[in-house]
Structure 1
Amino acid sequence: MENLTNFGEAWVRAWNSHNLEEILSHYDEDILFFSPIIKKINNDPAGCLRGKENLRAYFSKALVAYPDLHFELYHILEGVNSVVLYYKSVKDMLSAELMVLNEKGLIAEVRAHYK
């Protein structure tokens, strides 16, 4: 659990820093990413993207769209090769992100949920 706690805390610090390269350092090149925010930011009804370069473009847009972005981590839930981060997201929305980790400890898949 300690490694997953460190992972979750580092992920939140990266986002709160607004440093795109630091944020992207947590993701695999072949990332599969699902989020309702993709529908809004990318105007994409599928809400899904694949690949780190597409993720880079999306995160760049998101950082511009939410310049005051600040995440507050509430809980880290451990799974089998996965973690769920439960946190306060943009506009004070609650978020839970299921992150599947690969053998390199990088995020290979994300399923983001918001309330």
Structure 2
Amino acid sequence: MTNFAQAWLQAWNAHDLEEILSHYDKDVVFYSPVIRRINNDPGGCIHGKEALRAYFSKALIAYPELHFELYHILEGVNSVVLYYKSVNDMLSTEMMVLNEKGLVTEVRAHYK
């Protein structure tokens, strides 16, 4: 899981959209309170990689100084939780469910 987490973090910190998306399955489901703000979507949920591409594109524009600082990697069964410092120094966790190919199929993001 450490390799996955480091690659994910490096992609985000490089603002490399294609590399970021390489970690996600085409049928990913992504929940985040930030979706409510960026997409003006009260449900806070995105379905599918192409919708995720559009959301991440908006987020990278909205937060040009985006930089994540990884604090902890918590391993589960076919899942990982990344605990990190996010934009505007917010604390964040993302619980990611991984498929047999190691791609993310579901995300639950949380912010303090």
Partner of 1:107: 104
SS at match of 2:64: coil
Q: Which runs of 5+ in 2 are unaligned?
A: none
Q: CA separation in 1, counterparts of 2:68 and 2:7?
A: 12
Is 1:76 equivalent to 2:80 in the alignment? no
Q: In structure 2, which of residues 11, 20, 25 is the aligned counterpart of residue 28 of structure 1?
A: 25
Residues 16-95 of structure 1: pairs in structure 2 closer than 5 A: 16-95=13-92
Aligned with 2:66: secondary structure? coil
**Cα distance in 2 for residues equivalent to 1:24 and 1:79:** 22
How large is the RMSD of aligned CA atoms in angstroms? 0.3
The gaps in structure 1 that reach 5 residues or longer are none
How far did 1:41 drift?
0.1
Q: TM-score, normalised by structure 2?
A: 0.99
- CA shift digits 1:74-95 (9 cap, x unpaired): 0000000000000000100000
TM-score (norm 1): 0.97
Aligned residue pairs: how many?
Answer: 112
Equivalent-residue separation in structure 1 for 2:67 and 2:46 (angstroms): 23
Moved >3 Å (runs of 4+)? none
Deviation, 1:106, is: 0.2
- Structure 1 vs Structure 2: percent identity of aligned residues? 78
